[in-house]
Amino acid sequence: MKLFDRTNFYYIVFSVIIYVLVGASFYLVVEHVIYQEVEQRLKVERRDFENFVQAHGVWDESCYFVENKIELTALAETLTPVTEFKDTLLYNRYNSEYVPFREYSFISKVGDAPYKVTIRKSLIESRTLLKSITGIMMAVLSLGLLVLFLFQRRIARRIWAPFYRTLSSAKSFDLNEGKGLMLTPEEIFEFNELNSVLNKVTDKIARDYTSLKEFTENASHEIQTPLALINSRVEELIQQRNFSDEQMRWIQDIYQSALRLSKLHQALLLLSKIEHGHFFEWETINLTETLAGKLEEFEEIFTHKAIKVQFTKTGAFHAKMHPVLADVLITNLLSNAVKHNHAQGVIDITSTGNMLQVGNTGNALTTSPERLFERFKKQNQSSPSLGLGLAIVKKICESYHLVIQYSFDKGMHILTISSPAAGQ
């Protein structure tokens, strides 16, 4: 949920709670005020009743001041307490319904006899007034809350506009441009501080990236040249015959070490280029077709190790990536399946429209599968493998939003590459 929507959500929830509380409180307060007025009127009627009885000694129901219904009930004794005020319902035979009344009861003597006097006042008009006042108040309050909500929403959009401009600029930030963000100052202090910090941070990141990129390119050039010279000179020495067997082994070790160092340099350089986004061009590649072509190139290696290849194709797996990286991806997958296989082993390949799977026989892992894609992580540390093949595969998949997963089932190491939707 967006920050703006979350703020509105809390505002609405808070407003509804306040709306209900204020409405209920207002209703109760107005009801109390109306009841106070009704009870005060009933007390006035009591005084008029008592004055009339005192003056005449009897009660006449036709008395002019009687506004409300008065009922007298003879009492045998006056020790029973009488509730002063309460609500009651009386049946209206004209409307065939019960009508609410406020009832005031007290004990009074008429002549020499005690009576329970009950005076009632209809609450219909009071209830109608209460509902009308409450309804009007709630309507006005609702309108006020709506206006405040719309006003707050409009103001919030204007206030947060600089933040969203900054966010949009940050999303479009590209290290390959070699420069940081150039955000303009804002009137709001906090957003102005944010822009200032982002300008400084991205500028430093861009300068560091440019320096690292230049260093990588220079180091690549400076290292590759002496390595090529070493390899060429060692090859010339190998061609000569005036060395002892021990000297020849030394030369062979030097040559193998130089080749290993050259491969390591090329692999690390490739990883660096992938991480720094040098392969920004892409096109839709048929990885199934690329893999089928690579199988022909590896045919001699399969024959040499007596590896049986099984290729099951139910659909072509396509991915958007740079053609060079697609070639590297498939090559590393097959190289890994060969290096960690055993003689007369099996490579099982499955291709569908949603995934590409390469499995090979081999011993179970002695390390955690989660560390399989780390750099320089090898099953056997004495292996001549660089330990960078699957790290490169993982980095290529991450760069093009593909999912790679490892599993071990029935003696088969299985690497599965799939689209994000299929990998979920």
Q: Return the CATH number at 376.
A: 3.30.565.10
List the beta strands (DSSP E) in 276-393: 283-286, 308-313, 318-321, 346-351, 355-361
3-state secondary structure at position 166? helix
Give the mean model confidence (pLDDT) for residues 390-402.
83
Residues 334, 397 within the same domain: yes
Residues 85, 140 within the same domain: yes
Provide CB contacts within 8 A for 302, sequence distance 6+.
Answer: 308, 309, 338, 347
Instruction: Count Cβ atoms below 10 Å from residue 357 Cβ, excluding itself.
Output: 19
* Res. 340: pLDDT tops 50: yes
Please tell me the predicted confidence (pLDDT) of residue 382: 45
83: tokens are 């509730």
* Res. 65: pLDDT tops 70: no
- Whether 135 is in a domain gets the answer yes
Q: Which of 273, 302, 319 is at the close of a domain?
A: 273
- Whether 325 is in a domain gets the answer yes
**How open is the CA angle 133-134-139, to the nearest 5 degrees?**
100
- Whether 179 is in a domain gets the answer no
Number of structural domains (the chain) is: 3
- The answer to whether 393 and 270 have CB atoms below 8 angstroms apart is no
H/E stretch holding 103: strand 97-110
CA dist 7 and 396 (Å) reads 40
DSSP 130-150: HHHHHHHHHHHHHHHHHHHHH
* Res. 238: pLDDT tops 80: no
Which tops the pLDDT comparison, 263 or 105?
A: 105
Torsion angles phi and psi, residue 64, rounded to 5: -65, -30
Residues 401, 329 within the same domain: yes
CA dist 398 and 325 (Å) reads 12
- Whether 290 is in a domain gets the answer yes
Residues 287, 265 within the same domain: no
- Whether 211 is in a domain gets the answer yes
Q: Which of 234, 257, 273 is at the close of a domain?
A: 273
Q: Which of 119, 147, 175 is at the close of a domain?
A: 147
Residues 286, 414 within the same domain: yes
Burial class (CB in 10 A: 0-12, 13-18, 19+), 396: buried
Residues 253, 289 within the same domain: no
- Whether 164 is in a domain gets the answer no
Residues 289, 409 within the same domain: yes
- Whether 29 is in a domain gets the answer yes
pTM: 0.48
H/E stretch holding 104: strand 97-110
- Whether 183 is in a domain gets the answer no
Question: 29: closest CA among 134, 100, 101, 126?
Answer: 134
The overall average pLDDT reported for the chain is: 79
CA dist 106 and 120 (Å) reads 12
Which contacts of 8-13 are long-range, i.e. CB under 8 A and separated by 24 or more positions?
8/149, 8/153, 8/156, 11/149, 11/152, 12/149
* Res. 244: pLDDT tops 50: yes
Give the mean model confidence (pLDDT) for residues 165-179.
81
Residues 26, 127 within the same domain: yes
CA distances 102 to 30, 130, 334, Å, are 16, 15, 94
Reported residue count of the chain is 424
Please tell me the predicted confidence (pLDDT) of residue 64: 47
Among the ranges given (12-21, 37-46, 240-249), the one the predictor scored with the smallest mean pLDDT: 240-249
Please tell me the predicted confidence (pLDDT) of residue 423: 47
3-state secondary structure at position 305? coil
Question: By percentage, how much of the chain surpasses pLDDT 70?
Answer: 83
Residues 134, 238 within the same domain: no
Residues 213, 331 within the same domain: no
Residues 202, 290 within the same domain: no
Residues 143, 268 within the same domain: no
Please tell me the predicted confidence (pLDDT) of residue 222: 67
Give the mean model confidence (pLDDT) for residues 76-98.
74
CATH number of the domain at 217, please. 1.10.287
Domain ranges, residue 391: 280-418
